[in-house]
Amino acid sequence: MIEFFLYAVLFALAGTYAYAGWQTAPWVPTRKHHVDRAMRLADVKSGTVFADLGCGDGRLVHEAARKGATARGYEIAIVPLLLAVWRNRRVPNARIHFRSLWNAELRNVDVVYLFLMPKAAHRIKAKLEQELKSGAVVITYVWPMEGWTAEEEDALHGELKLYKYRIDVRGYGVGRGE
């Protein structure tokens, strides 16, 4: 009976991790200097409402909250989720949600951070365009948002790129609309 329970737990852990990776992107912990680059590019500060869609172990949520932002992370893979909850357990302005990024509440968010495979990023664009307010910033790590023009790119020599997009008054990424 104990063996069955252990196998069931292992299957559930592996299943949520595989599902999250297949739906959006595999969990790859973001290195500290990339976290710092993202915070600088997004200009995260006190009063900012920050959301990390697919927050992994919550390190960006933690850093945004440390800078004074109200920070939220959304994750469905159990192991990274538990790490995120643990990392942010004593941070009053950080909250980790066991929720799919497709169900994240974005209506009052100032900055959204994404590390998604291109197919998932393309799928989430409509949600971002519909729910984010004018002037909101979207930061993507590694891959650009197809069809949007970046307001700024952070591309240190030999490093992975960060892309900054701003939602305009018509609800489209920079470079879209007339």
Predicted confidence (pLDDT) per residue in 72-125, tens digit? 999 999 999 999 999 999 999 999 999 999 999 999 999 999 999 999 999 999
Range of the domain at 58: 2-166
User: Is there a contact between 109 and 64 (Cβ–Cβ < 8 Å)?
Assistant: no
Assess if residue 17 is contained within a domain.
Answer: yes
Assess if residue 174 is contained within a domain.
Answer: no
User: Is there a contact between 91 and 119 (Cβ–Cβ < 8 Å)?
Assistant: no
Per-residue pLDDT at 5? 46
Collapsing DSSP states into helix, strand and coil, what is residue 64?
Answer: helix
Assess if residue 173 is contained within a domain.
Answer: no
Smallest Cα–Cα separation from 123: which of 32, 54, 35, 49?
A: 54
User: Is there a contact between 89 and 62 (Cβ–Cβ < 8 Å)?
Assistant: no
- Provide the angle, in degrees to the nearest 10, between the axes of the packed helices 59-66 and 32-42: 50
E strands present in the chain: 49-53, 70-75, 94-98, 111-114, 137-141, 152-154, 162-166
Assess if residue 32 is contained within a domain.
Answer: yes
Spatial separation of the C-alpha atoms in residues 58 and 52, rounded to whole Å: 8
pLDDT tens digit sequence for 30-88: 889 999 999 999 999 999 999 999 999 999 999 999 999 999 999 999 999 999 999 99
Per-residue pLDDT at 176? 46
Domain count for the chain: 1
Assess if residue 178 is contained within a domain.
Answer: no
Per-residue pLDDT at 7? 47
Per-residue pLDDT at 44? 98
Per-residue pLDDT at 1? 74
pLDDT at 20 over 80: no
Assess if residue 177 is contained within a domain.
Answer: no
pLDDT at 170 over 80: no
Per-residue pLDDT at 158? 75
Assess if residue 51 is contained within a domain.
Answer: yes
Which CATH number does the domain housing residue 133 bear?
3.40.50.150
